[in-house]
Amino acid sequence: MTTQQTALAIDLISKDVTPFTALTFTTQATLQTLEQYNSVPEKLYNEAQRLGVTPTGAIQYIYTDVNGDSGHAFQLSIALPVSDTQGIPNGFTYTTFRSFRCVSYTHVGPWSDFPALYNMLFAQFHREGYKGGSIVREVYTVVDFEDPANCVTEIQISIT
């Protein structure tokens, strides 16, 4: 009997993301400590409502200098794109994110797939000769806590 292993086809799409302004939470984190920030997106939406600013896009987790080592500290920004910057945020800041050149992959399914998925994405990233990768963004387009198979997340990896 032979075993045939099927590799997931990964199609990385090169693109430029336009600048945007967001209500933002920023901290130092590790992959091991990410779960402690699970309540931040809801708090960002509540703060946007309190300030009277309109969300204009999906929540984004932005990882700067992440390297895949679960204990390595990196900068984590959790951002909610908003229409304007009125009022003074309580516990958050307004941040303008510059344009961003990246390769993009859209994942449909649970976030528990991410560890294996990131291994495949970065392998493909390097096979295709891309350079960079020090900033990774996850754009949570569809969030379904009741059926995680319905989640849609765009993963963006910076390129130079």
Domain ranges of the chain: 13-159
Q: What is the CATH topology of the domain spanning 13-159?
A: Multidrug-efflux Transporter 1 Regulator Bmrr; Chain A (3.20.80)
Mean confidence (pLDDT) of the chain: 92
Give the residue, 5 or 129, on which the prediction is more confident: 129
Most distant pair of Cα atoms in the chain: their distance: 67
Give the model's confidence band at 4: pLDDT under 50 very low, under 70 low, under 90 confident, else very high: very low
pLDDT recorded at residue 10? 84
d(CA 103, CA 15): 6
Give the model's confidence band at 82: pLDDT under 50 very low, under 70 low, under 90 confident, else very high: very high
Q: How confident is the model over 34-40, as a mean pLDDT?
A: 96
Give the model's confidence band at 9: pLDDT under 50 very low, under 70 low, under 90 confident, else very high: low
Least confident of 38-47, 54-63, 65-74, 89-98: 65-74
Q: How confident is the model over 73-81, as a mean pLDDT?
A: 98
Q: Would you say residue 32 has pLDDT above 70?
A: yes
